[in-house]
């Protein structure tokens, strides 16, 4: 039994995860949950990179995902440090209360 | 077999992502994000990317999410309070998200006629092939990422330490 799956299904899954990440970015009110939604979007894009790498038998697509992972690790470290210092300065992570720069 | 595995882990990934949105407490969101990332690792394996599947588990589900849960527990922020935006935002926002998904799906399905199908017998991209490209053709970008990560560590330490502390 060796069934096949069309490549579009993987791409549709990737698009659905990305959209859920966008929705989370917009409706979440905790800074750290918003940051997790960004990670979800990065993961969704990685899935489509891997699908296309498989589709065109290109190793470079997988290398790109590798680099995205490295940059995401760096981004998570710096982003969480910023979140810690915001919490220390303001005592909250609710984005509605961290709006000093809003016009 | 491939179809069954794909469906199971696609449903896991989608359910985890939806749960991430619905949960009020950040720690529950973080745990459902781990579910999403682990199911994506299995999907990478189905696509023949064995190295990336392991890196996904170690780097994403391991390192990055440990960082997230650590920060959530360190700050102990508690439940997020629900502040709903204006009615315009609610009536426009969800249709806008649906339109975004529809645009993606339409583009993919229009282009997708030319794509092939994926099966388990397609073979894997071995770590050997991957490292040949990475360490021969792309050595400079690879070394640059190590500098980037070093700078990110320094930046994280500089940002997170107390101002009056002696470092």
Closest residue in A to B4 (Cα–Cα)? A3
Give A90's contacts (C-beta < 8 A, 6+ positions apart). A97, A98
| B38 in a structural domain | yes
- Whether A13 contacts chain B with CB within 8 A: yes
| B165 in a structural domain | yes
**Residue of B2, B18, B26 to mutate for A, most A C-beta atoms under 10 A:** B26
In Å, what is the CA distance from B76 to each residue of A76, B27, B30? 18, 9, 13
- pLDDT value, residue A92: 83
| B83 in a structural domain | no
Q: Residues A33, A62: contact at Cβ < 8 Å?
A: no
- pLDDT value, residue B2: 85
Regarding whether B133 and B115 lie in a shared domain, the answer is no
Closest residue in A to B109 (Cα–Cα)? A8
Regarding whether B137 and B96 lie in a shared domain, the answer is no
Q: Which residues of A touch B151 (CB under 8 A)?
A: 74
Chain segment B146-160, per-residue pLDDT in tens: 999 999 999 999 988
The predicted model scores a pTM of 0.90
Mean pLDDT of A39-52: 94
Q: Which residues of A touch B47 (CB under 8 A)?
A: 10, 50-51, 53-54
Regarding whether B139 and B64 lie in a shared domain, the answer is no
Q: Which residues of A touch B10 (CB under 8 A)?
A: 9, 13
| B28 in a structural domain | yes
Domain residues for the domain of B163 are 126-167
Regarding whether B42 and B29 lie in a shared domain, the answer is yes
Regarding whether B143 and B62 lie in a shared domain, the answer is no
* Residue A5 parent element (H or E): strand A4-6
Tell me B81's DSSP state: P
- pLDDT value, residue B147: 95
- Whether A38 contacts chain B with CB within 8 A: no
Q: What is the CATH number of domain A7-92?
A: 1.10.287.3510
Regarding whether B134 and B113 lie in a shared domain, the answer is no
Q: Residues B105, B50: contact at Cβ < 8 Å?
A: no
Query: Do residue A33 and residue B17 have CB atoms under 8 angstroms apart?
Result: no
- pLDDT value, residue B167: 47
- pLDDT value, residue B165: 52
Chain segment A14-30, per-residue pLDDT in tens: 999 999 999 999 888 88
Q: What is the rounded CA–CA span in Å between residue B76 and residue B52?
A: 33
Where along chain A do its domains lie? 7-92
Instruction: Return the structure tokens found at B22.
Output: 């619905």
Q: Which residues of A touch B145 (CB under 8 A)?
A: 67, 70-71
Regarding whether B99 and B53 lie in a shared domain, the answer is yes
Regarding whether B162 and B96 lie in a shared domain, the answer is no
Closest residue in B to A18 (Cα–Cα)? B101
Q: What is the rounded CA–CA span in Å between residue B128 and residue A39?
A: 28
**What is the four-CA torsion angle of B11, B15, B16, B21, rounded to 10 degrees?**
150
Q: Which residues of B touch A9 (CB under 8 A)?
A: 6, 10
pLDDT tier at A2 (50, 70, 90 boundaries)?
low
| B72 in a structural domain | yes
Regarding whether B134 and B61 lie in a shared domain, the answer is no
What separation, in Å, do the N-terminal and C-terminal C-alpha atoms of chain A show?
61
- Whether B39 contacts chain A with CB within 8 A: no
Regarding whether B32 and B20 lie in a shared domain, the answer is yes
Nearest chain B Cα distance for residue A48, angstroms: 10
Chain segment A48-71, per-residue pLDDT in tens: 999 999 888 888 889 999 999 999
Tell me, rounded to whole angstroms, the distance of Cα A6 from its chain centroid. Answer: 24
Indicate which CATH number applies to the domain containing B70.
Answer: 1.20.120.1200
Higher per-residue confidence, B91 vs A86: A86
- Whether B41 contacts chain A with CB within 8 A: no
Regarding whether B47 and B13 lie in a shared domain, the answer is yes
Q: What is the rounded CA–CA span in Å between residue A7 and residue A56?
A: 11
Regarding whether B137 and B93 lie in a shared domain, the answer is no
Which ranges of chain B have pLDDT less than 50?
A: 167
Count of domains forming chain B? 2
């Amino acid at each position: 039994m060796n069934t096949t799956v069309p490549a579009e299904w993987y791409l549709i899954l990737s698009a659905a995860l990305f959209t859920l990440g966008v929705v989370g970015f917009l409706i979440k009110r905790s800074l750290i949950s918003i940051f997790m939604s960004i990670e979800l979007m990065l993961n969704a894009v990685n899935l489509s990179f891997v699908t296309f790498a498989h589709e065109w038998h290109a190793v470079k697509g997988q290398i790109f995902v590798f680099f995205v992972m490295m940059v995401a690790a760096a981004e998570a470290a710096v982003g969480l440090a910023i979140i810690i210092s915001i919490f220390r300065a303001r005592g909250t992570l609710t984005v509605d209360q961290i709006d000093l720069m809003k016009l | 077999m491939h179809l069954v595995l794909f469906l199971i882990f696609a449903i896991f990934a989608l359910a985890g992502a939806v749960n991430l949105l619905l949960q009020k407490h950040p720690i529950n969101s973080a745990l459902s994000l781990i579910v999403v990332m682990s199911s994506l690792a299995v999907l990478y394996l189905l696509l023949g990317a064995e190295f990336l599947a392991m890196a996904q588990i170690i780097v994403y589900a391991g390192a990055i999410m440990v960082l997230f849960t650590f920060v959530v527990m360190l700050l102990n922020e508690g439940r997020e309070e629900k502040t709903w935006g204006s009615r315009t935002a609610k009536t426009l926002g969800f249709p806008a998200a649906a339109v975004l998904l529809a645009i993606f799906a339409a583009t993919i399905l229009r282009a997708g006629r030319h794509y092939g199908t994926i099966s388990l017998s397609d073979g894997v991209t071995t770590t050997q092939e991957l490292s040949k490209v990475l360490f021969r053709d792309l050595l400079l970008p690879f070394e640059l990422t190590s500098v980037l990560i070093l700078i990110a560590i320094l930046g994280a330490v500089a940002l997170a330490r107390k101002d009056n502390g002696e470092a």
